[in-house]
Amino acid sequence: MRTAVTDSSALQRLSFGYEDAERDIAGGLLRESFIRTVAYEATVSGRKMLIIGRKGTGKSAICMQIAAGHTQLDGTILITPDDAVGNQICRFELQGLTGDTARSLVWRYICAVHAARYLVTRAGRGRGRLRDHKTIRALRRFLKANGELSNQDPGGPLAQMVRGLQTTSLSLEAFGIRTGVDMGLAPSEGAQATRQLEVVEQGVADAFAELDWAARHPPLLLLVDQLEQVWSSESDAHSMIIGLLLAAKHITAHYGGAMRCLAFLRSDIYDSLSFPDGDKFRGDELRLHWSDDSLMELALSRARASVGAELTPGQLWTGLFPEHVGGETTTAFLLRRVLPRPRDVIQYLNLSRDTAVQNGHDRIHEHDVLLASRQFSEWKLKDLAQEYLVAYPYLERLFPLFQNMGYVVMRNVLASRLEQTAATLHPQFPAYAHSLTLPGVIDTLYSVGFMGVRRGNDVVYAGGPDLAVQPYETEFHVHPCFRSALGATSAVDIHAYTPLVISAIETQVAGGYLLDSTVRAPRAGREHRLLQDLTRSCRTILNQIGRAVDMPRETRNDIATQVSRIVSDTQEATDALDEGRAINVSDHVIAAATYLEALAAQIRASGMNGMTGADSVSAGIADEARRLTAAVGGSSGGSGASG
């Protein structure tokens, strides 16, 4: 039923917001439509400090929502390093310390200075009697002496902080320490920097303690986001991230609940780290996963924020959107073609809406969604290569292995394709030769979500708790998200059967070759027997396909579809013969037999040889093709196949 929220103006108002949280919090729908998920609650409650997820899963949305939920003077500080700061931290070294430890010191110093600025600025606003506290006055003097006050920082706040600690000559007189005298002779540069940092951290901790901060206020939250902007595959960049993790754990313990550090990390970055204390962070991890229900809740929440709070699920999915697309419910169609993350859903729905508006529609039609699907698939294929450009620079060069072929790929077929490209790939990416092996390529394509693996009756894609691909697993499926862009729209690479009867009849009508409609070919004649033989052969093949349970289900369906088209075409030929129309039955049967023979060869070439069911089906199809050819008398004709 059409309602006030599904009129033509509703489509104009409909929006699902921006794809990135930074814009969506400022001028989009994030504030109005944010869903307080379990992940969000675990983050703000302090149960978790590492928020991990792949690009587009909502890490920054949680970060921005936490930051927007308070003013900076009410408990949050957002830290987003740029390239210059990232390079400085990566290059930060101190004699006598490992790279991880040295970089943890610089992160600890950055956080301590941010906390000191926060407390001094809050005191400057005249809240309570903060100005009178001795510890606050000491922090102000320290910041001023070391050029760490915000208005003293022409080079950028983080850059100044990194340079400050690396000089190992901080002015600590504000805390009653005379550098070089009271600090004593340090055995190394690293030891000197560590002692100075401990003095600064103690000064900040004393201020929190004097203010009884942990009892009177929520923890000060330091939110570190956008680290992928400064990350690379180099070891120094890994060490920068490890240093942050070590610093975050230290901060939680050192400041007695007065301050916490939350790090928002892409899963591919976090999973690439390797350091001795890595197992100590398992309890701090929170990995973002989205179910179909939660993604649809997100879509409805955003639609309501743009159209009106009274919008119901039915009005959205049967009023503004078509009820069905491609024979599926619209929601099922959409969810199968996205990676399970908010960004994909937002982009797909916005694109469908924009397509409908461009087509002049007052609601979204099935055709609009189908048009958007192709464009969306092309976007996602390009985005996938860019998302993993640092970790897998060769990823885009693997896509042609699946282009214009079936989306079901067997292990031995992939091995053959990869072998043919090895001579090109290995010289271009010599540093990744170990990853360009068959197991390495399978692991890469599975881990990024490009393809899934058949397990039992299901196809499993990466992103959940499932195991990685096992050596004995042989059947892989390209994710539906990427199939349209690759031209991989059928399960196996088989040619479609082209019906012959209708086109033949049309040609005969144009040339005036129709028989008198009163003439009837005898049912017991040779032409009818040949057509009956063809139908029986197809029925036999369909029965064999139904019993071949070890063949991929999608492959069986595709083959059965083509064989069923032969049955339908043969029925058309029988009807035409009964009506006295001119049909060259011998050519029709030979064409079908030739197609079946080619189909058997394509099944063998698909890599399923060795499967009992697949071998039986291909052999059975070939046998029926030979039997039909012999029944006609060994004649030859067209293939009935089209590229």
CA distance linking residue 462 with residue 494, whole number of Å: 28
Q: What is the DSSP letter of 320?
A: I
Write down the pLDDT at residue 129: 57
Write down the pLDDT at residue 68: 78
What domains sit in the chain, N to C, each tagged with a CATH number?
4-15+291-387 (1.10.8), 21-55+59-287 (no CATH), 395-486 (no CATH), 497-642 (no CATH)
Helix ranges restricted to H, 7-133: 8-13, 21-27, 30-33, 38-45, 59-68, 83-91, 99-124
* Range 607-628 average pLDDT: 83
* Range 421-430 average pLDDT: 92
Between vectors from CA 473 to CA 475 and to CA 491, what angle results, nearest 5°?
5
pLDDT above 50 for 481: yes
pLDDT above 90 for 393: yes
Torsion over CA of 367, 368, 372 and 373, rounded to 10 degrees?
Answer: -30
CA distance linking residue 324 with residue 366, whole number of Å: 7
Could you tell me if 359 and 403 are in contact, meaning their C-beta atoms sit under 8 angstroms apart? no
Nearest to 68 by CA among 123, 12, 25: 25
Q: How confident is the model at residue 338 (pLDDT cuts 50, 70, 90)?
A: very high
Q: How confident is the model at residue 637 (pLDDT cuts 50, 70, 90)?
A: very low
Helix ranges restricted to H, 308-406: 313-314, 330-336, 342-358, 366-387
537-552: buried (b, 16+ CB within 10 Å) or exposed (e) per residue? bbebbeebbeebeebb
Distance, first Cα to last Cα, the chain: 44
Could you read off the pLDDT of 195-212 as tens digits, one per residue? 889 999 999 999 999 888
Write down the pLDDT at residue 482: 97
Strands 76-79 and 50-53: unpaired
Q: How confident is the model at residue 1 (pLDDT cuts 50, 70, 90)?
A: very low
Q: Which helix (H) or strand (E) holds 246?
A: helix 235-254
pLDDT above 80 for 281: yes
Write down the pLDDT at residue 516: 38
Q: How confident is the model at residue 503 (pLDDT cuts 50, 70, 90)?
A: very low
In this predicted model, which residue has the larger pLDDT, 332 or 616? 332
CA distance linking residue 546 with residue 544, whole number of Å: 5
Q: How confident is the model at residue 445 (pLDDT cuts 50, 70, 90)?
A: very high
Write down the pLDDT at residue 343: 93
pLDDT above 60 for 501: no
Write down the pLDDT at residue 478: 96
Which residue is associated with the tokens 């409609």?
Answer: 517
Write down the pLDDT at residue 74: 65
CA distance linking residue 643 with residue 638, whole number of Å: 14
Q: How confident is the model at residue 611 (pLDDT cuts 50, 70, 90)?
A: low
Provide CB contacts within 8 A for 363, sequence distance 6+: 6, 8, 11, 319, 320, 321, 322, 356
Amino acid, res. 192? Q
Write down the pLDDT at residue 512: 35
pLDDT above 60 for 239: yes
In this predicted model, which residue has the larger pLDDT, 3 or 350? 350
Write down the pLDDT at residue 186: 63
CA distance linking residue 441 with residue 415, whole number of Å: 10
Provide CB contacts within 8 A for 141, sequence distance 6+: 173, 174
Write down the pLDDT at residue 130: 56
Q: What is the DSSP letter of 317?
A: I
Write down the pLDDT at residue 415: 93
* Range 208-226 average pLDDT: 90
Amino acid, res. 457? N
pLDDT above 80 for 464: no
Nearest to 395 by CA among 453, 482, 290: 482
What tokens were used for 462? Answer: 């990466």
Per mean pLDDT, which range of 121-125, 154-158, 520-524 is the poorest?
154-158
CA distance linking residue 343 with residue 350, whole number of Å: 11
* Range 113-142 average pLDDT: 81
How large a percentage of the chain has pLDDT more than 70? 84
pLDDT above 60 for 424: yes
Write down the pLDDT at residue 372: 96
In this predicted model, which residue has the larger pLDDT, 99 or 30? 99
Q: Alpha carbon of 360 to those of 9, 325, 347, 504: distances in Å?
A: 12, 19, 20, 40
DSSP E strand boundaries for 191-331: 220-224, 259-266, 285-287, 324-325, 328-329
Strands 76-79 and 220-224: parallel
Q: At what angle do helices 526-547 and 553-578 cross, to 10 degrees?
A: 170
pTM confidence score = 0.80
The length of the chain in residues reads: 643
Most trustworthy range by pLDDT among 161-165, 319-323, 524-528: 319-323
- What pairs with residue 642 in β-bridges? 496
pLDDT above 80 for 240: yes
Averaged pLDDT score across all residues of the chain: 84
Q: What is the DSSP letter of 283?
A: G
Could you tell me if 489 and 481 are in contact, meaning their C-beta atoms sit under 8 angstroms apart? no
Q: How confident is the model at residue 517 (pLDDT cuts 50, 70, 90)?
A: very low
Per mean pLDDT, which range of 106-120, 545-559, 561-575 is the poorest?
545-559
Q: How confident is the model at residue 509 (pLDDT cuts 50, 70, 90)?
A: very low
Nearest to 343 by CA among 33, 56, 34: 56
What tokens were used for 634? Answer: 């060994």
Biggest alpha carbon distance in the chain? 120
CA distance linking residue 369 with residue 349, whole number of Å: 9
- What pairs with residue 460 in β-bridges? 453
Q: Which helix (H) or strand (E) holds 586?
A: helix 585-603
Most trustworthy range by pLDDT among 18-27, 154-163, 187-196, 534-543: 534-543
CA distance linking residue 22 with residue 496, whole number of Å: 48
pLDDT above 90 for 69: no
What tokens were used for 312? Answer: 């119901």
pLDDT above 60 for 85: yes
Sign (positive/negative) of CA torsion 309, 310, 313, 314? negative
CA distance linking residue 139 with residue 200, whole number of Å: 9
pLDDT above 90 for 24: no
Could you read off the pLDDT of 174-196 as tens digits, one per residue? 888 876 545 556 677 888 889 88
Burial class of residue 482 in the structure, from the number of CB atoms within 10 Å of its CB (0-12 exposed, 13-18 middle, 19+ buried): buried
